[in-house]
């Protein structure tokens, strides 16, 4: 799987220019033979591990890797939907190692990891609330347009 600079920037909450700078300075390997930068999943995972990306962002990012079909949806919807499946490809991350029992952490670090998970849960709940509001607005709009259509058909 490969990712564009937009996808990486959106998911890591940085600008596309930041991602391009990482690529230009050879911190993040990318292929530009197609005319745009594409970053391989493995290269991205290694970059995130080296960089020490906070667990919340990295987990959210890598959790979405297993749901490529959802990535094609609107970014906000894709982000919210894929983050609901946090049992995905977390290889190379400290969180995965801790959850699998392969690595132990101290009480302070565990507390920080739990805080990150709590923040992710709160963020997802807010995303879901916003999506539901959008759903309601769209349904209202559809009903209004259907009513207009019916009036036009009767005239």
Reduced to 3 states (helix: H, G, I; strand: E, B; else coil), residue 3 is strand
> What pLDDT score was predicted for residue 98?
74
pTM for the model? 0.40
Residues above pLDDT 90, as percent of the chain: 27
3-state secondary structure 72-122: CCCHHHHHHHHHCCCCCCCCCCHHHHHHCCCCCCCHHHHHHHHHHHHHHHH
Instruction: Report domain extents, the chain.
Output: 2-154
Kindly report, residue by residue over 87-108, the tens digit of the pLDDT.
333 333 566 677 777 778 788 8
pLDDT band at 74 (very low <50, low <70, confident <90, very high): very low
If you average pLDDT over residues 128-143, what whole number do you get? 90
Mean pLDDT is highest, among 71-75, 87-91, 103-107, 133-137, for: 133-137
Measured CA to CA, the distance from residue 60 to residue 64 in angstroms comes to: 7
pLDDT at 121 over 70: yes
pLDDT at 78 over 70: no
Measured CA to CA, the distance from residue 59 to residue 139 in angstroms comes to: 33
pLDDT at 116 over 80: no
């Amino acid at each position: 799987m490969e990712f564009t600079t937009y996808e990486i920037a959106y998911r890591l909450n940085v600008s596309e220019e930041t991602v391009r700078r990482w690529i230009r300075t050879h911190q993040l390997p990318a292929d530009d033979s197609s005319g745009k930068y594409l970053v391989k999943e493995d290269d991205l995972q290694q970059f995130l591990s080296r960089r020490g990306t906070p667990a919340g962002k990295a987990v959210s990012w890598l959790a979405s890797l297993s749901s490529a079909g959802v990535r094609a949806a609107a970014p906000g919807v894709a982000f919210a939907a894929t983050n609901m499946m946090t049992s995905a490809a977390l290889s190379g991350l400290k969180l995965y190692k801790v959850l699998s029992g392969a690595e132990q952490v101290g009480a302070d670090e565990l507390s920080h990891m739990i805080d990150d998970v709590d923040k992710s849960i709160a963020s997802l709940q807010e995303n879901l609330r916003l999506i539901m509001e959008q759903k309601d607005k769209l349904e209202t709009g559809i009903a209004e347009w259907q009513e207009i259509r019916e009036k036009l058909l009767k005239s």
